[in-house]
């Protein structure tokens, strides 16, 4: 199995969800492999340049969408960047029962799916 590089975009308030997503890849019965390329610590004023470079080096992007997303300017920039770079993007709701009341313009009109391991695995395997 080929390991894919995937950038995970999330609001900093949702880092626990990112940890859950990334942790899944460590299970021996997970039928897909990937390397998390998300930003784990704040960068300096050049973060957008560094982040764009990281996104360009990935095969795809997973965006975790929650009620925190509309106010997460960094996450919204990351997702906009991924679309500009024409990377495959999978948007998933962090919580199927607590969706954001408004969808930011950066992802308006894009499909957002419920978080399922089958969907995530299919996305990663398609990269």
The domain containing residue 15 runs over which residues?
Answer: 4-126
Q: What is the pLDDT of residues 99-124, one digit of tens each?
A: 998 999 999 999 999 999 889 989 98
When divided into structural domains, the chain yields a total of 1
Task: Single out the residue of 89, 93, 103 nearest to residue 66, CA to CA.
Answer: 93
Rg (CA), the chain: 14
**Residue 19 burial class via C-beta count within 10 angstroms: exposed 0-12, middle 13-18, buried 19 and up:** middle
CATH of the domain at 70: 3.40.50.450
Distance of CA 94 to the CA centre of its chain: 10
Is this model's pTM higher than 0.85 or not? Answer: yes
Q: What is the pLDDT of residues 28-83, one digit of tens each?
A: 666 566 666 566 655 566 888 888 998 999 999 999 999 999 999 989 999 999 99
């Amino acid at each position: 199995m080929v390991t894919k590089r995937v950038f995970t975009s999330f609001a900093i308030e949702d880092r626990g969800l990112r940890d859950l997503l990334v942790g899944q890849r460590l299970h021996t019965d997970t039928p897909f492999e990937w390397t998390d390329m998300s930003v784990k610590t704040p960068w300096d004023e050049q973060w957008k340049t560094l982040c764009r470079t990281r996104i360009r080096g990935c095969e795809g992007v997973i965006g975790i969408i929650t009620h925190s997303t509309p106010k997460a300017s960094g996450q919204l920039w990351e997702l906009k960047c991924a679309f500009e770079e024409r990377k495959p993007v999978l948007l998933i709701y962090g919580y199927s029962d607590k969706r954001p009341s408004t969808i930011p313009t950066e992802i308006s009109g894009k499909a957002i799916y419920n978080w399922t391991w089958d969907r995530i695995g299919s996305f990663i395997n398609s990269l």
